[in-house]
Amino acid sequence: MTLHFVEVADRVHVLREPLLDVNVTLVVGDGAALLVDTLSTAGQAAALAAAARAVTDAPWSVVNTHHHFDHCFGNATLATDPPRPVYAHVWAAEELRERPDQVRRAAAEEMRAEQPALAAELAATVLLAPTETVHVETVLDVGGRRVLLRHPGRGHTAGDLVVHVPDADVLVAGDLVESGAPPDFAESYPLQWPDAVADLLRLTTPTTVVVPGHGDLVDVDFVRAQHAQLAELAWLIRAAHTAGAPPERVAAEAPFGARPGLTAARRAFGHLDGLD
């Protein structure tokens, strides 16, 4: 597999992995670099390393935007020889450190029907937990460039991070923003997700390039529109729960479609009922 980075702003490069349409971001400074997310398998991560080396020979640190396999299962390939710091939110780090077998098993099960070869690789992947944890925010010096890592609150997962490169006006949003498909609500916090997106919007300007977890790069207007949809979904969920209506009522009116809407409603009803 040959992968390539494309420069999308001053010394900020994005690579799109074709199998799951995952975006990886490379920030290059003077004598240092930062890789945001590491893909799904050792093979993908090796191709990612080669693509990064075609851009820079600087040593890199790593950030995981969250704990899902397509964003962090390449850690061991990219951050062990030689050892590199790997940053993540404290919750995501704990998932990978304390529950690696469960995380690996869930990843393999998710892909078993659709991508059986990938599922087999995921089941055998060596996981490397993040070494550096972020609670709310951390500022990194990447070769003289200020890069902010921020947890905007629960949304796609309990442990999402966004990465802001202010001198290039780039915001890496992870799966808090999706342009390739509807948002994934399987481990989400649908009632808090709109607030998380509102928080990350505070880091933007009218010209910010936003890198979603999957799909085409987007602008701030796209993120605002998705925020409005998430807020509408949260309102529908609260209204249905208050009225004693079933989650299927939400699914029928959900802005992202029936299947994502049903997943979000069931997840949020559990939160409202104190089950999670």
DSSP 74-94: THHHHSBTTB--EEEEHHHHH
Amino acid in the structure at residue 194: P
pLDDT band at 2 (very low <50, low <70, confident <90, very high): confident
Q: Are 18 and 179 in contact (CB under 8 A)?
A: no
Share of residues in the chain with pLDDT > 90 (%): 98
User: What integer best gives the mean pLDDT of the chain?
Assistant: 97
Question: What does the pLDDT read at residue 180?
Answer: 83
Whole-number Å distance between alpha carbons of 105 and 263:
20
> For strand 209-212 and strand 170-174, is the pairing parallel, antiparallel, or unpaired?
parallel
pLDDT higher than threshold 90 for residue 253: yes
**Ordered alpha helix ranges (H), 31-125:** 42-55, 69-72, 75-78, 90-98, 100-111, 116-124
Q: pLDDT of 59-90, one tens digit each?
A: 999 999 999 999 999 999 999 999 999 999 99
Instruction: Tell me the CATH class for 5-219.
Output: alpha beta
Residue boundaries of the structural domains of the chain: 5-219
1 pLDDT above the threshold of 80: no
Residues 174, 154 contacting (CB under 8 angstroms):
no
* Closest CA relative to residue 155, chosen from 178, 137, 139, 181: 178
The pLDDT confidence band at residue 96, using thresholds 50, 70 and 90, is: very high
Residue 186 has pLDDT above 90, yes or no: yes
User: Tens of pLDDT along 218-231?
Assistant: 999 999 999 999 99
pTM value is 0.96
**Residues 6 or more apart in contact with residue 53 via CB below 8 angstroms:** none
pLDDT per residue over 12-29, tens digit each? 999 999 999 999 999 999
CA neighbor of 217 nearest in space, from 11, 2, 4, 14: 14
The predicted-structure confidence for 164-177, as pLDDT tens digits, reads as follows 999 999 999 999 99
Above 90 in pLDDT, residue 275? no
Rounded to 5 degrees, φ, ψ at 180 are: -85, -20
Give the span between the Cα atoms of 144 and 5, in whole angstroms: 22
- Give the confidence band of 246 by pLDDT, cuts at 50, 70, 90: very high
Contact between 188 and 233 (Cβ < 8 Å)? no
Once rounded to an integer, what is the mean pLDDT over residues 202-217? 98
